[in-house]
Structure 1
């Protein structure tokens, strides 16, 4: 990665252009929902023509908005760009839901500077919701600022992914300390903690594009995060993240982290 001063935050015109790009992609996804055929990628995961179109549209759009900044995308290049600032994109997080006609998926985009997300955008097309986070400035949902108090809802739900439910078998002698929810969208599983919808989320095999935007949202709302293996803050230019997982436990408070940490550790260590 080149040396020198770090890039500045996005300007107002760039932010406006990002929102316009998200509007266009979200509109197309809503139109395609329920009228799409899926096939399989080499790794066995689902993909649709809408995934491919969304990825191409986002990559092309970002090239105009921030032409010197690289893009790492689930459906495109999976190597860490060597530009001082770069984008991490999941054009359609929750393809299985989308292809099955389950109206819950997300567009996830995060801009990284110095190896960490500094601007994040999560759009939920089916709900007409958009979450924006800017490092050091806060989080907004549909233009309304969110605070720590926003998520103090008394939820008892814990979000697990389909692979993290194995902790229930590994600790079968202990009752799980929460009501389990499986939403099927990694980025929104994690953000559900920041929104107060769940008290914690445990993800077994998230990729960098799954967690990039949610990571900043959680940080800005002071939600504790424990990386259970690799730390995504330790990426280096040129690193191929195709097969890299970042198991993570996110909680709404330090007390919840203490209560659930052993369950997160059991995910990897049994």
Structure 2
């Protein structure tokens, strides 16, 4: 992959941040053959959830990509994050889920994605939701032509609240991928997305920031969300509604 057009200094404006994220997309695209070859190289975590060799590969590729361009960046990836990772400085830091929806990925489904967000101190610079095999993405600064839907999406972590919500909703979906769910509620293909059991910041924060950008109504832990930083390593319950009244047509 050519890096001649990519920023070599820390991003200071939206154009540079978008160029950085577009380079990240290109990086994953250029390595898709190797990523797909690792699809069924699976290890189970202590909580019995799967992680593949591709999760580890993508995280390392993106970590290397970022540190080459922002040498002092603090990186928090799902597969490498520990409680010792310091995200309290005023510098640059990135949060990444290399493969959100790993159960889908290692089962041969295409509904999985890369979830990425870049911050400076507590200031959000840009976020990206990217689904390589569906060839779709949404990043900070993109425009959307919204669609209208009556579908309510739910997380796949089944609980009584989800069962009750599905019973009360005429059309509902469980897709098993936060990137897919968040992307679709932002663009209006889901009228609402609810995760009542909670997910981690690397699952949610990029999508929440994009949902704010596109004027969705957002609750985190039952309270209105105004773009606050979410700490990695803990789970957050979310409920997002697409606001069709804010769009023409």
Does residue 127 (structure 1) correspond to residue 131 (structure 2)? The answer is: no
Q: Distance in 2 between matches of 1:106 and 1:218?
A: 17
Does residue 62 (structure 1) correspond to residue 62 (structure 2)? The answer is: no
Q: Distance in 2 between matches of 1:14 and 1:48?
A: 29
Please name the residue that 1:202 is paired with.
194
Please name the residue that 2:75 is paired with.
71
Q: In the alignment, is the contact (CA less than 8 A) between 1:72 and 1:88 conserved in 2?
A: yes
Alignment of 1:81-120 (within 5 A): 81-84=87-90, 85-115=92-122, 117-120=124-127
Question: Over the residues paired in the alignment, what is the CA RMSD in angstroms?
Answer: 2.7
**Structure 2 residue aligned with 1:52, among 53, 56, 66?**
56
**3-state SS, counterpart of residue 199 of structure 2:** coil
Q: Distance in 1 between matches of 2:168 and 2:19?
A: 44
Q: Distance in 1 between matches of 2:153 and 2:207?
A: 14
Q: In the alignment, is the contact (CA less than 8 A) between 2:99 and 2:113 conserved in 1?
A: yes
Q: What's the offset of the Cα at 1:11?
A: 6.7
Please name the residue that 1:161 is paired with.
155
Q: Distance in 1 between matches of 2:115 and 2:177?
A: 11
Q: What's the offset of the Cα at 1:67?
A: 1.6
Point out the more displaced range, 110-119 or 97-106. 110-119
Q: Distance in 2 between matches of 1:164 and 1:55?
A: 28
Q: Distance in 2 between matches of 1:116 and 1:165?
A: 34
User: Is the alpha carbon distance of 1:15 and 1:47 closer, same or farther for their aligned partners in structure 2, counting shifts above 3 Å?
Assistant: same
How many residues align? The count is 229
**Structure 2 residue aligned with 1:248, among 234, 238, 246?**
238
**Structure 1 residue aligned with 2:228, among 224, 233, 237?**
233
Alignment of 1:1-12 (within 5 A): 9-10=12-13, 12=15
**Structure 1: gaps (5+ residues):** 1-6, 256-270
**Structure 1 residue aligned with 2:210, among 204, 217, 224?**
217
TM-score between the two structures when normalised by the length of structure 2: 0.80
TM-score between the two structures when normalised by the length of structure 1: 0.75
C-alpha distance after superposition, 1:178-221 (max 9, x if no partner) = 41111111122122111111000011221000012101110010
Q: In the alignment, is the contact (CA less than 8 A) between 1:117 and 1:213 conserved in 2?
A: no
Q: In the alignment, is the contact (CA less than 8 A) between 1:70 and 1:81 conserved in 2?
A: yes
**Structure 2: gaps (5+ residues):** 1-9
Q: In the alignment, is the contact (CA less than 8 A) between 1:227 and 1:246 conserved in 2?
A: yes
More helix by share: 1
Q: Distance in 2 between matches of 1:168 and 1:25?
A: 33
User: Is the alpha carbon distance of 1:82 and 1:228 closer, same or farther for their aligned partners in structure 2, counting shifts above 3 Å?
Assistant: closer
Larger RCO, structure (CA 8 Å, separation 6 or more): 1
Q: What's the offset of the Cα at 1:74?
A: 0.4
